[in-house]
Amino acid sequence: EIMVALIVAVAAAVSVYIFIYYNFLKGVKCKSDVSLNGRTVIVTGANTGIGKETALDMARRGARVVLACRSKDRAEAAVLDIRRKTSNNQVVFMHLDLASLKSVRAFAETFLKSEPQLHILINNAGKRCVKLGKTEDGFSMGVGVNHFGHFLLTNLLLERLKQCVPSRVVVLASETYRMVGLDFSKLSRTEPGHTNGFLDYAHSKLCNVLFARELSNRLEGTNVTCYSVHPGVVNTEVFRHLNRWLMLILVPVAALLFRDPEGGAQTSIHCAVQEGIERFSGRYFSDCRVREVVAHARDDAVARKLWEFSERMVGLSNKAIHPVMLLDSFLFVYKEEKSSRKIDGNRVIMQRFVSVKFSPLG
């Protein structure tokens, strides 16, 4: 009787898990069957996880797909796998390291010289660090890769997107954007500690949402549309950045409760191909549906300020920047560089703020 009761209990638990997983956790599948023959798509971070599944779907639809990745070996393996699964030989690798603005510029130059078209740009790559690190340009790793790198990349490719309308930009965000307000002084701040690493990631995701919003405003009337997306809680290789003890706890939980990468890619795919969503340009999507964001993520004045700040940080603009905003960022980076006692720390800082044109106060 005990054995029978145990079997019944296990069967009931499995049934409940299956019901919850497929109805609440797995997520919604993109229903569009649109062909992408003759279209060119860039997917950043496409050698694994959500990015690879997104690229795989684009290739199945007949697109020419550029895997923009940092690791050559992993990306070339992904290219071969996608070609094998789709019989689409128009899948190629181009090197891109979003932690280096120099690499972003080199990628854009190579792409624009070699590829005559661009219809869909999917800013998928993301960095989630337990401990804070820094990019080659001195930005915190999360904000540097997830926001500044993609911001520069999108701007460098924008004219090509405008030439190939209708075209789209998809920006991978996250629900973690809700957890922080935008603090410009922290966009370059790097301090040791686990909590700050998470907050850095959350800041970058808020930047992603605001970036898509302002990009949409600036592209109004061009037939280039953009969307930020939440992929859901996905079981990807992001856990490789965690320490051993956290992995022992989270990996089994992720296997049971998180979406697989294919499920996590569905909203990105939806925003890349679904017809009839153009009127929602600049909005935030989750489970293939438009969602309302919290108030601080739909503030157009803040989104515009972030755009102008980002232009200065990546060297795209000679426009005036408010001296208070500049000083905030300078002091935080200066403090960090001095504390690390790097000989060339001041050079790195001054390169970022050289030729500054101040705006009047007020």
Pairwise pLDDT comparison (232 vs 53), residue with the higher score: 53
Q: What pLDDT, on a 0 to 100 scale, did the predictor assign at position 177?
A: 87
Contact 126, 172 (CB under 8 A): yes
Q: Give a yes or no: residue 11 inside a domain.
A: no
**What are the percentages of helix, strand and coil residues in the chain, rounded to 5?**
55, 10, 30
Query: pLDDT grade, residue 342 (50/70/90)?
Result: very low
User: Cα 253 vs. chain centroid, distance in angstroms?
Assistant: 24
Higher pLDDT, 52 or 253: 52
- The C-alpha atoms of residue 94 and residue 103 are separated, in whole angstroms, by 11
Known catalytic residue at 334: no
Q: pLDDT class for 300, splitting at 50, 70, 90?
A: very high
The reply to whether 358 falls in a domain is no
252 cis-preceded (ω within 30 degrees of 0) = no
Q: Which domain covers residue 293, as residue numbers?
A: 30-314
SS (H, E, C) 106-169: HHHHHHHHHCCCCCEEEECCCCCCCCCCECCCCCEHHHHHHHHHHHHHHHHHHHHHHHCCCEEE
**Is residue 361, in this structure, part of any structural domain at all?**
no
More confident residue, 42 or 328: 42
- From the list 21, 22, 201, 227, the catalytic residue is 201
Return the pLDDT at 241: 55
* 178 belongs to a structural domain: yes
Share above pLDDT 90 across residues of the chain, in percent, rounded to a whole number: 57
Q: How many domains does the chain have?
A: 1
CATH number at residue 249: 3.40.50.720
Task: Give the per-residue pLDDT at 120.
Answer: 98
- Whether residue 352 lies inside any domain: the answer is no
pLDDT of residue 333: 45
* pLDDT higher than 80, residue 264: yes
Please check the confidence at residue 20 and state whether its pLDDT lies above 60. Answer: no
* pLDDT band at 233; cut points 50, 70, 90: low
pLDDT digits (tens, 9 = 90+) for 155-214: 999 999 999 999 999 999 988 888 888 888 777 555 544 457 778 889 999 999 999 999
What is the pLDDT, as a whole number, of residue 252?
A: 57
* Contact yes or no for 170/122 (Cβ under 8 A): yes
Task: Give a yes or no: residue 17 inside a domain.
Answer: no
CA-nearest of 180, 57, 184, 183 to 124 is 57
User: Quick check: is 331 in a domain?
Assistant: no
Query: Has residue 273 been placed in a domain?
Result: yes
- Minimum mean pLDDT range among 53-57, 65-69, 108-112, 124-128: 124-128
Q: Are 288 and 270 in contact (CB under 8 A)?
A: yes
pLDDT bucket at 147, cuts 50 / 70 / 90: very high
